[in-house]
Structure 1
Amino acid sequence: MQTQVKKPISQVPIQRIERSDALPPPRFRYSPAVRVGSDVYVSGLVGLDPATGALADATAAGQTRQILRNLQALCAEQGWSLERIVLARVYCAGPAAAEGMNEVWSEFFEQLALPARTFTVVQALPLGAAVEIEFQLSI
């Protein structure tokens, strides 16, 4: 029986994804995604259209749909599987946004394994967004 020796955390490679054709360019100073070994951390996504950089829709449902499209495109670009999403942190600007977000969420994850999820209602989000979601994948 072989034992697998894990690398010390200081030796695990870190890859910062600074630009992606799947996402609009960051408006602030951050990496849209960071890979540490087999873990991927995707920064909070709002429903921006990658072509225009503007919110794709005024509704929480439409913004959630765009967020999930952007995540899907990022995963395809990087060779990651959506099945490997292990955690999502969802932020909605007010309780009314939750209904539209949850409706689209259920449709999207109908054929996928459900990740763990934290849901928080906040007073406001950047750029006037109704929804922001950050993701963690284990690839």
Structure 2
Amino acid sequence: MSAARKRLAELGLTLPAVTPPLAAYVPAVRSGSHVYVSGQLPMADGRLVAVGKVGAEVTPEQAKELAARCALGGLAAIDHLVGIDAVTRVVKVTGFVAVAPGFTAVPAVINGASELLGEVFGDAGRHARSAVGVAELPLGAPVEVELIVEVG
């Protein structure tokens, strides 16, 4: 068992099934030594776990957990394409948060994804990041996360 898989097991996590694309794209693409993961919504069994704006219908704490779920979905897309064992470094995380007026704690929400990746990959999980508050996300999702990883 690879270090990443072992760490997921220690955390009590399993990779979910890859969510089928909702439009004209693929879940992940490899280009050279990088894998680019399409935006991941907080899905379970093909359905959104929550809808609404963070700071209104969704609490910041719930949104942080949803961001971690998005990152886990991204890892599933990577695993399906090249195998999670191939990941040598998490390069970049981009997180989008559907925010209620006045909600500005967007970075704290996306910490859910960043912290999960750090727990799974250790120092190789430390990454560059953008965290952006937006008016709307697909299907009314509160959070969306994209990943770029380096693979060996």
TM beyond 0.5: yes
Matches within 5 A, 1:1-139: 22-49=17-44, 51=45, 53-57=46-50, 59-77=62-80, 78-80=82-84, 81=86, 83-94=88-99, 95=103, 98=106, 99-103=108-112, 105-106=114-115, 108-110=117-119, 111-112=122-123, 113-139=125-151
Cα contact 2:29–2:37 (8 A) shared by 1: yes
- How far off its partner does 1:38 sit? 1.1
Measured against aligned partners, the alpha-carbon deviations of 1:31-80 in whole angstroms (never above 9, x if no partner) come to: 1111111111101111111x2x1112453133212212212333334323
The structure carrying a bigger helix percent of its residues is: 2
- How far off its partner does 1:115 sit? 0.7
* Percentage of matched positions with identical amino acids: 32
Distance 2:77 2:88 in 1: 14
- Structure 1 gap segments, 5+ residues each: 1-20
Which structure: larger Rg? Answer: 1
Q: TM-score, normalised on structure 2?
A: 0.64
Bigger shift: residues 124-133 or 92-101: 92-101
* Residues 69 and 25 of structure 1, relative CA distance in 2, 3 Å threshold: same
Q: TM-score, normalised on structure 1?
A: 0.69
Distance 1:130 1:138 in 2: 27
Distance 1:41 1:104 in 2: 16
Q: Secondary structure at the match of 1:31?
A: coil
Measured against aligned partners, the alpha-carbon deviations of 1:85-116 in whole angstroms (never above 9, x if no partner) come to: 10111111113673444256335524343110
Cα contact 2:93–2:146 (8 A) shared by 1: yes
**What is the aligned residue count?**
117
Tell me which of the two structures has the higher relative contact order, counting C-alpha pairs closer than 8 angstroms and 6 or more residues apart. Answer: 2
Structure 2 match to 1:11 = none
